[in-house]
Structure 1
Amino acid sequence: MRLPDWQCANRHPCKPAGVLLEWLQNEGSLTQRLINAGDDDFRVELLDQGLQPARADEARALGLECGSQVWVREVLLHTAGAPRVFARSVAPLQALRESKADLTSLGTRSLGELLFRGDLGISRGPLEISQYPAEWLPSAWRSETCWARRSRFGGGRLQLLVCEVFLEGWPPAG
């Protein structure tokens, strides 16, 4: 399995070109961009939520020991008639317990709605991009050519790592 090579979005040596790079580097709300790009059909499909051991790259990004138990939420973001993005959010358990943000009860609501609301004092760290391991994607969406972006969000006691993987064929070529 090829592991991700997370690097700053503007300095990655193998970054994709064109529309995909622009989506990867955009620091705004991905939820809002998907809503704008669709046909008023944006929705969140909850795939999994619960405790899991942190992957090595996640633990490193969050300053945890590899394999530490973390809260994980995995979703598919749908727009324009199909799933377009696989998203995986990871939070240390202590940060989850002490945060004012109620992440565990989002259900099929978008995490972006919470993160970009503005009233929780949450800020986004630098974006990193990488090709994403096919083995880490839901089986129906596995591809060796998917690119992802991730960043840490924080505010108060909250620490959250959000990874968004653009599924094959999204975004559409300009």
Structure 2
Amino acid sequence: NEAALRTAESLYKNYPDVVVEQLGLQTCRDTVIGNALKRGVSGGERRRVTTGEMEFGMKYATFMDEISTGLDSAATFDIVCTHRDIAKKLHKTVVMALLQPAPEVFELFDNILLLNDGEVMYHGPREQALPYFESLGFVCPPDRDAADYLLDLGTDQQYQYEVAKSSNHASFSVQAPRLAS
């Protein structure tokens, strides 16, 4: 991708500074990382440093598994925001696997892939996931966040979201065909 290469080249000479700024690491720039014996940066800062290390080099895709493990929701949000910004600036793809994203983190994703026992339940734009499942007869209650609802559809709890189609008004049925096995 020629546009990505031009953008990357323009950022490259100051790239370490760009990554430090994107990850919010300016305040600990000269701090030792630390280990079990020597105190260093905080857990969230350590995770962001690891994220920064992964950003160096010219690549068009980054794959991340369970980046939120051990982090609070604010740190997770910051890291996902950073990767989203970097991906857009460098025209690259970022794939993240998260078990239970907070609603504000879920809203940052352009596309989602929902798996259940290795089978694809949904793959496409995040904002189209709820309408897709509504078309199958599953409705997200207004008091439920979308990410948790979508995760529930892959469990034995999915019956609680199926809308009975036999009446003129929505009511929930307990006799739902299972999406999950």
- Pick the TM interval, shorter chain: under 0.3
Instruction: State the TM-score, normalized to the length of structure 1.
Output: 0.22
Larger Rg: 2
Specify which structure has the higher proportion of strand.
1
Specify which structure has the higher proportion of helix.
2
